[in-house]
Every structure is written in structure tokens, then in C-alpha cells.
Structure 1
Amino acid sequence: MNFATLDELKGHVVSDLELTVPICFINVESLNMWITVKSWLTDICQKSLRLSDFCAENDLTPNINRMINELRKTRVRTLLIPLSEYLRINNDKTNDILSRIINLGFNNEQIAIFIPLYRMKNVLSEFIKRDIRYEKNILFLETTEDDDYSLIILPSDLNNVDLTGYNITGIKRYYSYWEENPDKPIVLRVSDILFYKDIISADKVTVLITAFDVLKYHCNINAISESMGTNLHWSELLNRMNSDRTLGGVFARIFNIPGYNAKYLFEKWGGCTEFEKWAIWLWSKLESADGYLRMALDTQGCDTYRDNIRDNIIELICKIDFKHNQYDGFYRERKEYLKCLSIETLTQSFWDEINKKKPTQRLHYLTDYTSKERCEILRTIESEGLTEKIMCLLETADPVLRAYIEPYVFKSEKFTEYFGQYKRQKITNTVNTEFIDKVSEYASKGLWWELSSRNKLFDDAYGKGNGTLIFWIDALGVEYLSLIVYLLREHHHGVYYKIEIGYANIPTITELNNDFLQGRNPIKFRELDELKHKGEYPEYIVQEFTLIEKALRQAVEKLSEYEKVIITADHGASRLAVIAQAHAHKAKEGAAVKRHGRYCEDSSNNYEGEIAGCVDKDKYHVFAGYDRFSIQGNITGEIHGGATLEEVLVPVIELSKRPFDAAVTITVVTPEIRLRAGQKAVVKFQIDRDFDKLYAEVQSKRYDCARDIDCWYFEPDVDRKIDNYKAKILHEGRLLGSIQYKIQKGITSTLDI
């Protein structure tokens, strides 16, 4: 029966009491009206039965059998509440319980049991359809339907969850709440959540079993599945939620950043907890854009944190064709992530894939980030040779190695050519006979005597020593200058430098080459020399570059305490003197052979006139070529003591954060040069400072500059394949600036005839 108003309902109930209908269900769709009806029924009934009284403990469901027995025993008007809240979350029992109550069998006794129900209209209507006889027991008060009602049921151990609604813990308290003056929405926390997991209701009842369920409801996340994390992961994430309504919001707060930043997050990876690593992985799955990381995350088998994104970042590159139009971008992105993750060892799966590729193809996939990769690059060069293609690949794969190999332009072209060849042979671990002949030729001439001594150059640079620090790197030869210049320009912006080259005392041993330090207090960096004596190819070469970077960084850091830092060395060292199959000479009786035959001590005899390339210096007899004195044993790395250019030439490098001189302005006078047949190119430029001598460096070749009436000029070589050139202008090893010029070759118009 339907009633439009509460007064109509009341009138019917009062009259019906006289007709002795013993059971009366009254349904309303408005919570406020339910409270009103409950209050009115409380007034007219002599007895109230509360479901909460039938709960043995706070989190135990009511004993329905005991409740029905109590109803059966009643002989006065009785109110039963809140039955609808039991039926709502036990809807599979609805028909059974309604039938048992209606058929209690009071046999027309004048007893009335009133049961107000909330939002049960559809359930009750279906119940009447099954048995029309029950129509007289069920009353419908037509009211507006609540559209904001909801009930959320979740585990009580998730007590930190901040969900909107009135929060109640335990089913008994839940019924007690309804027995008083309830409000909506309601959040019910229970200990036995699995008891409610199969609830199917159309009446806005949501059961959240796990922390993931709560997150999905709380954050409306549809892009992820529960299998992407463990229950511990989801629970911890839920603990961190607070008022955040998005996963991005809570992740940003966890890592203290405004938004997703893959490089920043992977830089923190090594110091993260397991939960934080999982959070980085999940956030990346949700936020990372197109690119290498996205591919690594989407690779088959990377659906969970346990599948290890770290390994995928390492290995995926091997599955991408280096001819792919986006490969360079993928390669560079991966290299950045290797650095961020501080990966020191690559997986065996990566190396298995690398070993399947041809040697030169490997360089497309290797980087300079791990020592093993850099050694593999060197082994590839050893087996394949230092071709132009490999040099090109090194620009990306190992720019430090390429910078070392690149020629350093000395004032003398002989030195530029010599060290260019020396470094290539050192890297490929070979010595060719033509170079050995050149070493022998230079040894006979004592070519280093053309330069100033290291001691003189150092004294000139050191001056009075005010505010100057000496940074002495044991065994730092001039072979590293192109690398040092590269590192200064790439990583130490704002540091000015001047480079001079001088010769050390011979034999090139530390005991005879620390005289210039007397009375001065240097910082000594000995790791490079120690490595050279015991290193194995190719590992020691990789370590050499690492030590050069380390030493240079330490020297530059000292500029925060000193106005100037001078880097210099006692001597250099030679790899080729170790691996060259040179002639071994027997020292004379009484001579003491030192440094694996690089020199001997003999006060009674001379050798210079008898052995080509041997230099007599007091009691020392030193080889300036790759020959040596006979001696048992060998070494694995490098040697010094002799007088080859790589052993005897050392740099004097001045570092400062202030320009050594005032800045200069260089203006090119001949930006375009039209070159006719038989003519030399002449490049002219003006400079606003007075210098006694200048050099121009073009394509790794140095040219003396001459002075004209009002400008400087030099005559560079012309490459038929190149039109545009860049020239560096230098003074005493210091870069002053650069100019650009263009050369037009051949006849360009009829006017040129």
C-alpha cells in the first residue's frame, strides 16, 4: 500500500491496529523521513528491539534466530530497528528473513510489530510480486529519494584512510548508530572484511577488501591493476595518501618534487627503500612519455615491479636496430639512465646479445659508462684498427677516448705528428716499424732540446708563488693534453688555462725530477704512476682516463682556495717502449741496469758513441729510442726512465678563474677568400692587444702568424672538400679566441680570367 503523506500513513496505521494486522513493514526513501517515522513509532510502541543487542561482540553480526525468537515472544507493540541495514549488506538473506518475520503466526492476536525500512522499495516490491498476500503487511511512504546515500565497508586495520563520511568501527556500533539519529554517507570498518566480499547491491554499497580497492575508489585509478604491486606496497601507499586524491600527488610528496621527473627519480634509486623503488616504477608506468624509458616499461614481461625495470633499461637497447631513425635518441636516453642509476655492472643477458654482433656493430650499443664497456671498445679497436668509422662512433660511445686520440697541436708539427701516431698505437696496442724508425731518428737528434726545460717553464709560471698551488701529477706526459683541454672545456667552464711544454731531466725518474719542488709544498697525485707500473691492457688505459679526470677535478677545486694552480709532472711514461720488439744491448761490466733496461748507471764507460739512440748524461746512459739494456723480467703496463718524447716531455699547465690577461677582440679581415690557381690562401685578422708571437690552429695543425703593417696573417692549407673553416688564435699555449673564414676555390666568374 502506498501513502503520499506521513499523516495518511499514521491514519492508516492507527485504524489498522484495530484490524489486528500483527506485522507492519514501513518503507521510506528519505533518511530524514526514516528518522521521523522511527521517532513516531518509538512513541506508540511499548517495546523496542535493537539489532545491536543481538550482536555478541562489537564486530560480530547479529544473531537473527535469537532476534526472531524475541519477536515471537512479544505480546505488546514492538519496534524493530534497523532491519534494512542488515538486509542491505546481507541481501542474499532478504526473502528468507522477511518471510520468517511475516509468518511468525500470531493468529490474529492484537499485536503490532513495526519495522521501518530505509531504501528497500525495490526489494519489497519484488517480495510482494511473489506473494500478493503480503501486500497488506508492507506500506510505502512516497517521499523524494536520497541521491547522496552511500555505504563503504572496509577493513578496520586500514584505519588511516581518510574517506568522506561518518566513520564507524564494528558492526554493532554501526547498528547502534542507526538506532539513534544517523546521517550519510557512512564508512563502516570491520575486522572480518571477507565476510562482506560477495555483497552485490544496487543500493550504493561499496565493499573495499584490500588497500588497492581503497586506492582505486579513493583515487579513481583505472590504468593499473592490483597485480602491479604487493599488498604491502598498496598498504604503504595508502598510508602515505593523507588528503591527496591522485597518485601523482602522493608520489610528488613522497619524493618532494612538484611533478614526475624520470632522471631525478632514477638518480635517487640507489638510496631508495624497496617501497620507494616500486613507487618510482609505478609512477613511471603512469607518467613516462614516449621514448626509451617508455619502451623499457612496456616491454613484454615488465608488468610488475619484480620484473625489474633496471634490467630492462640495460638490455632493451640490444633489441633495437641501430639503423632505426630514432636510435640515436634512444641510445642517449638510455645512457643518461645508466648514469642516473649508477650502474656499474651490466647484465649477462646484455653481454650475451653484444657478443652475437659483429665487432664494429658493438660500438653502436656500448657506452663509456662502465669499465667493462670501455675495455670492450678498446678490444674492438685492437682487433679492427682505428678506422675513421670507429673514430666517428667514438664521438658518441666514448668521447673521452676520442678526445685522448685527437691530436694536440704543438708549436712544432713534428711533435703533433709524433704524439698523434704514438697515441693511436698505444690504443691499438701495436707498434709499426715506421714509427720505431722515427723514434730512432728523433733519438739521434735529441729533438726535445729544441724546447725549454720543465724547470725553467715552471719557475716562470710560479714566480713569487703568492696565491699559487702546485699540483704535481706523477707520470703525467704530454700525451694527455688533448684530453685535458677537452675536460676543461666540457666540465670546468669558467676556468682559464695556459699550457707550455718542457723537457724533464734524464733519466726520467722521480728522484732526478723533483728538484724544481725544493722549498715548495705541492699536492702530490701518485695514483697515475702506480697504475702505469702494474696495469694490464686494456683495463689500465680506462683507469688512466678516470685518474686524469679525478686529478683535474681536484686541481680545479683548489681554485676556491688559491688564485692559481699549476699542474706539472716529474716525467711521462711509454707503452710502446714495453711492447716494441726493439734491440736489447748488453751493458758493460760493472754497470747497474735500471728501469727494465731503459738506462744504466756506469761511471767508467761511455755508450753514446757506440749505441745509436743512447744518451750519456754523467753516470747515466739513457735510451732515447725503444732499445734497452738486457735484463730479465718484463712489465705489463708502461715504463719510464728513458728519453723518448713520451717519457721526457711534460706539461706545465696554469689554471685560474681569472683571465691571465685582459680580454682581447679579434676581427677577421678576410672573411671570404677567392683562391686562384697557384695561389696560397692568406687569412688576415686584427687584434686589439700587442703580442710578440701568435699561432693559428686549423684542423689540428698549427701555423705561425706573421705581422703585417696593420694586421696579422697566416697561410693555411686548403682542403678541396671544405669551404668553411674555423681557426683558433693562441698565444703561449693560451686560447685568445677564434675566427671563421671561407675559401672559394677555382674560377668563379669571367672577371677572374
Structure 2
Amino acid sequence: MVDEYIRSIDTYFKGEKNSPFIVNFENILDLQEAIAHFEVDGNTIVKTSTLANKDNLPSLDNVLSNCDNITGQIFVTEYSSFLKLRGHNSLIETFRILLHHNKKLVIFTYKCERQLREILNTDLRHRNNIYFHCGKYELEKTIVFVTNNLRIDDVKILPGINYIAPEIEKSTEEKIYIYTAKSKDIYRNSLLEIVELNNAYNILCQKDLSFSKLSENLGSTSQWETLLSVFEDSIIATINKRFGDYSKLETFLVNYSNATIDDKWLYFISLKFCGSKNNSYLQQVIENTNSQDDLIPMLFKKILEMSYFDKTFNKAYQERKNILKLLGANEYIIKFCQLINTKNRDGAYYLTDCSREEKELIFSLFEKYEYSQDELNNISKIVYPDLATYLLPFEFRIDLLKQYFSLYKYSKVINKISPKLYEIMIDQAKKRDYNILLEPRCSVFDKINKANTQVYFIDALGVEYLSFIQAKCVELGLLANINIAHANIPTITSINKEFTTEIEVVSIKELDEIKHAGTIDYDYQKTKLPIHLIKELEIIQQILISIQRKLNNGEFEKIVIVSDHGASRLAVIYNNENIYKMSEKGIHSGRCCSKTQVTETDIKYDFIIESDDYFVLTNYDRFQGSRRANVEVHGGATLEEIVVPIIELTTANNNFEIEIITEEITISFRKQASIKLYISKKLDDICVCIDGQYFQAIMSDDYVYDILIPSIKKAKTYKVDVYQAKNKIATDLSFIVRKEVSQEKDLF
């Protein structure tokens, strides 16, 4: 094949024709072999790139005048590749002019068969002046125009358009990069594909074609330049290096608040490119976010577009909460809390316990809309689990206390005294059944074996917190043997710390200080909401964590929590002075007073009792002239002030499994409900709590316990808590009850 076009060229030069002879090649290998063959002494190879000005194409006049001044055999190269930038018609017109030029020369063209055949089709006189060398077909190259100030690593970039043709006809690269001031609009008819890289975004799209799915509007020029400066082999490789596994991008949110502005934007772009593989709520957020500035606001408020009745709401809510936990404190929470008001009574369902602002708003909504006790419990389980465990009825095994404190906690949270609670309070203010139902604290405390034991004296720890404490002990792997007793009256510390004389104690005053001092805007005169409860629960949890650490480290075998008295929030809410005036102000917020302080000499009042040198109130009143309470009060003899816990804490050593064997049972008129419980360790005194009722378990086989539950009549799923003695050792087990379907007898 080579010999044929060489013979044709040799024949042409021996002939008498003076018009140019064109030889077209379809691949650069054949073209370069031809140039090498004829690049010998006596021949002149005219490289038209040398005739072009910087960053320009060579002109036809320059090419012809240069050739006209050369003698001998002339071979012109590169010109066709320049002409392709001008387009199909321009290339044909230029070659027509060349073919009519009066000069003997050979023009090597590259991949111009279509245009040359079009010339022949319109003018057969040129059929002996055009030769088509049939070689292997090659794809055309892509030309990439790069703005002069942009830097692209690991890519060869030519310093102007005048260098383009030699590279096209020599390089095996699919793309040829050129620094140029020219716009591709100048060459809008180009036969070669031209891509413009006039900014970092375009360069990124060239480096990774998949990147083009991201809109340029997602970032500024400087932001795209930042990404380009840290770009690895691909966008995925870049994301992995910057933020870890691209499939787990949500985990970076834990560092988001402290990230630089650049990293926040890069993270946003990473999410836009990869999406969220593990969190469908985050995926929805990123799909609806087109600016890094909108990412955090959308994380917060996207949930508001959903109804909490939607089937997908619970999943979205939990996924969002997981994100917010990672994100931590964020200033947008204030705006989000304002937006919650648009949801009116439903607003509480959209809040979480991830921020103090939300917790406070939960209390505000609970007060404003007066949810029922069941509603309050159900909402709290979702949005504020710690509050939900606080609200759980504690199993005192004394109906009076169970009912009273369940209503007390509900009233405290909604900031209103329930009528039923008030009724019980008035009844007990007269009867004071705690004297019959409970032992004095000193009696209970004295019975405890204190060998290798540390005592925590928590001032003002009432029994209202017991359900919370019990739940946290289960979480922390602690066994809590809880006893209750009554304090001395009046319920003030000075006459309720007899236990501190016989043993060294760790004294914790934080709860009492909150109730008295009204710090951090807890003061009832500043805010009526019981937001101090947020801090109270946090303090108790930290105390239990400290105890767990000591027990696990073997510092003590047991730690005992004991309290001097409780406190009453409802006496503060009630805000009522009785008729008896104190001579001194500011003493115990008027819940009790020295007999010498009362100006009246004849006390006749159903709700005042005498205790040594004190008059003590048994209802929610306060004596006249006393200072109003800041947060909560004590000194009186309401149940919340006088009933106190004594809690023995040890490590659970729960190296055993507990499960319900009978996951589903049937009941009927004749068939009572019963379940079987498996415990992998033999334990005594096992009972279960179902719907607030206790049922004793009887061991029927090794590790198997039978429980008869005659009170169950309804078909539904029941939750079960398991106790060993007074210690909760398992929670939230469940079984299903179905009603037995009667069958008709087949008489035939």
C-alpha cells in the first residue's frame, strides 16, 4: 500500500502538471511514515504551524507565498488539521483554491476524505490530483481550550492554537489541551469537537465525566477552584480522602460545626454527588437543597413538610434525629423552634431532645395545649425519652403513692394542678397516711449492711425521680434495690440528716440548689415553665454514671443513695397564702415556720400540724409574709416533700439471658393467660410487671418460670418488665395475646 502512494507521488513530480497533488491519510501512523519517507535531502517539508502567528491559524496567503519561494520537491503538512477548525465549507473552499494554484507541490491531509470526495463530485478535473490512502480508521480528537490562568496537573497543555495541528497529526491522546485566549464560539463550525475549560468547574468535568451531573450553580468560581486544588484521580477518590467512605457521608456531620467554610461546601458537594446511602431523610434533604448555606436549615425543617400521620414519618423522624445528634448544637435551632409554632398542637411531634431549645419548647407546648396524660406519655416516648421514663408510673406497690406521683409528675410537666391530684392532696393533708404506710427513713437506713459501702447524700431527691432512676440503672447495668420511707417534719435539711452522723457521705447539693436558687432562668417569677426538670434529669444521670464507674472499678461493693427530703413544684404553682402571718420573711418559702415566727397565738387550721418547735403546712399553701419560692419548695408535709428514697446500688453482673418463650398465647372464657419465661441463670423472687400489675413467677423447670396472668382479657401486644426482688433486670419484653376462635361441631 505504501509503494502505491509513493509511486503516485513520484509519477506526479515527473509529470508536467503544476497544480498541487493531495494525498489523504486516515491515521497518523501512515501519515508519519509518509513524512519520514520523503524527509530527505532535496525535499522540503513545509510544516504550516511554523507559518502561523502565536495563538492563530496560518493564513492561506502565507502558506502559498512560502511555497512559491521554495524550489525542489515540496511537501505541505498540518494544514488540513488547522482548516478543520474553520469548518466543512471553509476546508473545501480552501482546497479548491489550492488545487487551482500554479505550483508543483504535494499536500498531505489527515482524515479529510469526505471533503475531498465532495470536491471530486463537483469537479472531476481534480480526479488525478487527489489520492486516498486506505489505512486503518481513527476517531477524531477532541480539542480542549484552556483559559491561560487555569492550571491542570498531569496534563500536557500546548501554549497556543498555532501548536494544534502538529499535535493532532502526531499524538495518540484522545484530547489535546491548549492554552488560548480564543473562544470556541470563533470556531463554531469546527469539524473537531471543542471543549472549553474556562473555569475550574469545566476542568473537573473533564477530569471525571460523571462530575457533569452536578450543576455549576452549586458553587462559586473560587469554590470550584478549591475542589480542583484537592482533586484526586476521581471525584469518589477525592471524597473518600476528604470525608472517609463516600457511602457513609452522614458520619462527617459530627465534625461539621467545626469544619472550615471550604470543607462545609466540599461536604455539601459530596452529598449532592453521592447522596446518602444510609439515611433516606438526608437523601430527601440533599435532593431539595441547592446551596451549602441551605443544607443545615433544610436538615432541620424538611420534616415539617410531612404529616406525623404519614406512614413514613416515624422513619424520617428517627433518621433526622440521628443526624441532629451527630450535628450537635447549631444556631438554626432557634429558627426551627419558631417554625414549630406553625404546626400548632401537632408541633410537639416534630421536636427532639437533641437541644436545650427543643426541650424547653416541648414543655411550652405541653403547657399550652394541655395534652392528656396518655398523649403526654406517648409523645414523650418519641421526642424526649428521658422525660418519658420520668413520667412512667413507679411501682411503689402502694396504690396511693402510685396514683399520687403519677398525677404529680403529669401536673408538674403541664404546669397545672390536676383536679384529681388536688383532691388526693387535700385528703392526705388531713389523713397523712404516710405515717402508717411508710417507715421513718432512719429505720430503713439502719437496716442496710454498710460494709464496703459508700453513701451518696443527694439533697432534695424526691421519689418522683424513681422511675427515671430505675430505667437508667437498667441501661447502666446496675441493680437498684429501692426502698421508700418518710422524712422528718418539717422537711428541711437541718433536721433530716441524722444518717450523716454515723457514716461519711458524698454530699451532692446540685438538685437542692436548682430548686432554691432559680439559676439559668429557672426562677418561677421569670418563667412559669418547669424547664428546671431538664437539668434535674441530667444531674441524676451523671450521678448514676459516676456511681457505675466506682462500682465497676471495684472501689466499693455497694453505693447507697439517701435523701433528706423531696420538694414540691405544685406548691409554687398553687401560689396561695393562708391567713397566718410570719414575723420573718424568706424562711423556707413559707412551707414551715418556727412557732415563734407566727404572729397569731391561736392556730386553727386543718392543714397545719405541729412538730416540735415548728408549724408545718400539709397542703400547698404558704404562710403569709413569706418569700415566694424560686423554683420548688420544701419544709411542708405533702407527699412529694416527705416521701424519700433509699436506694442500694450494685453491679448487675447480668451475664444471663432473659426471654419470653411463649411469644404468642390464646385466651378464652375458660382459658386464662399464662406465659413462660426463660432465664439462663437460676434466680429467686422473680416477678413481672404487665400493665402496671405485678405477677409472681414460679420456676417449673430448670431456668423456666411460669407466670399466670388472670387479669388479661384483651387481645393485643403486652409489654413485660422483669424484676428480681425489687431490681428491674429486663425491660420491654413482649408477647401477643389472641382470642381463641370457637369452632362449630361437625354433626355429620
Give TM-score, length-normalised by structure 2. Answer: 0.79
1:170 corresponds to: 159
> Which position in structure 1 is the counterpart of 2:248?
261
Instruction: Tell me by how many angstroms 1:173 deviates.
Output: 9.1
SS of residue matched to 1:395: helix
Contact 2:152/2:203, CA 8 A, preserved across alignment: no
1:501: which partner in 2?
484
Q: 1:749 to 1:128 in 2, by over 3 A?
A: closer
Alignment counterpart, residue 26 of structure 1, candidates 23, 27, 31: 23
2:305 match: 319
How many Å separate the matches in 1 of 2:23 and 2:183? 28
> 492-501 vs 511-520, which deviates more?
511-520
Tell me the distance in 2 between the aligned counterparts of 1:578 and 1:316. Answer: 40
Amino acid at match of 2:711: V
Contact kept in structure 2, 1:496 and 1:660, CA below 8 Å = no
Q: 2:364 aligns with which of 363, 371, 379?
A: 379
Separation (CA, whole Å) in 2 of partners of 1:89 and 1:558: 81
Q: 2:643 is matched with which residue: 641, 649, 670?
A: 649
Conservation of the 8 A alpha-carbon contact between 1:603 and 1:618: no
Q: Deviations over 1:302-334 (max 9, x none)?
A: 3x2257233233333333333333333333333
* Distance of aligned partners of 1:349 and 1:681 in 2 relative to their CA distance in 1, 3 Å threshold: closer
Note closer, same or farther for the CA distance 1:182–1:594 as it changes in structure 2 (3 Å cut): same
Task: Within 5 Å, give how 1:147-162 maps onto structure 2.
Answer: 147=139, 152-155=144-147, 159-161=151-153
Are 2:109 and 1:123 aligned?
no
Unaligned ranges ≥5, structure 1: 107-111
Q: Is residue 451 of structure 2 the alignment partner of residue 451 of structure 1?
A: no
Q: Hey, what does 2:10 align to over in structure 1?
A: 14
Q: In 2, Cα distance between the equivalents of 1:139 and 1:745? A: 96
1:28-427 to 2 correspondences below 5 Å: 28-43=25-40, 45-54=42-51, 66=62, 68-91=64-87, 94-95=91-92, 98=95, 106=103, 112-129=104-121, 136-147=128-139, 152-155=144-147, 159-161=151-153, 167-171=156-160, 174=163, 178=167, 182-185=170-173, 187-192=175-180, 194-196=182-184, 198=187, 201-203=190-192, 206-221=195-210, 223-244=213-234, 247-257=235-245, 259-261=246-248, 263-285=250-272, 286-288=274-276, 291-299=280-288, 302=289, 304-306=290-292, 308-342=294-328, 344=330, 354-359=340-345, 361-387=346-372, 388-427=374-413
- Alignment partners' CA distance in 2, 1:288 and 1:694: 47
**Per-residue displacement from partner, 1:729-750 (whole Å, max 9, x unpaired)?**
6455313569999999999999
1:675-703 deviation digits (Å, cap 9, x = unpaired): 779xx999999999796x88764422457
Q: Which residue number in structure 1 is paired with residue 578 of structure 2?
A: 584
Secondary structure in 2 matching 1:718: coil
Q: 2:464 aligns with which of 479, 493, 514?
A: 479
| 1:625 corresponds to 2:619 | yes
Tell me how large the CA RMSD over aligned residues is.
Answer: 4.8
Q: What does residue 597 of structure 1 align with?
A: 590
Distance in 2 between residues matched to 1:667 and 1:321, nearest whole Å: 38
C-alpha displacement of 1:392: 3.1
Contact 1:296 1:309 in 2 (8 A): yes
What displacement does 1:479 show?
0.7
The alignment partner of 2:107 has SS state of: strand
* Cα distance in 2 between the residues matched to 1:493 and 1:317: 32
Superposed CA deviations along residues 566-610 of structure 1, whole A, max 9, x for unmatched, are 444443221111122545243566x67612112223469999985
* Cα 1:68–1:524 shift into 2, 3 Å: farther
Instruction: Spell out, residue by residue over 1:682-728, the C-alpha distance to the aligned partner (whole angstroms, 9 max, x if none).
Output: 9999999796x8876442245799999xx999997836546886665
Structure 2, unaligned runs of 5 or more? none
**Are residues 1:465 and 2:462 paired?**
no
Residue 578 of structure 1 aligns to which amino acid in structure 2? V
Check 1:30–1:576 CA distance in 2 against 1; reply closer, same or farther (3 A cut). same
| AA in 2 matched with 1:520 | E
| Identical amino acids, percent of aligned pairs | 21
- Aligned pairs for 1:509-520 within 5 A: 509-513=492-496, 516-517=499-500, 520=504
Given the superposition, is the C-alpha separation of residues 703 and 689 from structure 1 closer, same or farther in structure 2, using an over 3 Å criterion? same
Which stretch shows the higher mean deviation, 23-32 or 125-134?
A: 125-134
User: Counterpart amino acid of 1:628?
Assistant: R
CA contact (8 A) 1:725 1:742 kept: yes
CA distance in 1, matches of 2:656, 2:320: 43
Distance 1:46 1:740 in 2: 98
Alpha-carbon shift at residue 36 of structure 1 (Å): 1.0
User: Which has the higher mean CA deviation after the structures are superposed, 636-645 or 200-209?
Assistant: 200-209
User: How far does the alpha carbon of each residue in 1:114-152 deviate from its partner, in whole angstroms, 9 at most, with x for none?
Assistant: 432222222333455566555555433222222486555
After superposition, residues 598-747 of structure 1 pair within 5 angstroms as 598-602=591-595, 611-659=605-653, 697-701=689-693, 718=711, 720-721=713-714, 728=721, 730=723, 733-735=726-728
Cα–Cα, structure 1 residues 280 and 712, in superposed 2: closer, same or farther, change >3 Å? closer
Q: Distance in 2 between matches of 1:175 and 1:727?
A: 80
Compared CA separation, residues 652 and 560, structure 1 to 2 (3 A): same
Distance 1:658 1:137 in 2: 101
CA distance in 2, matches of 1:438, 1:608: 28
TM-score with structure 1 length normalisation? 0.78
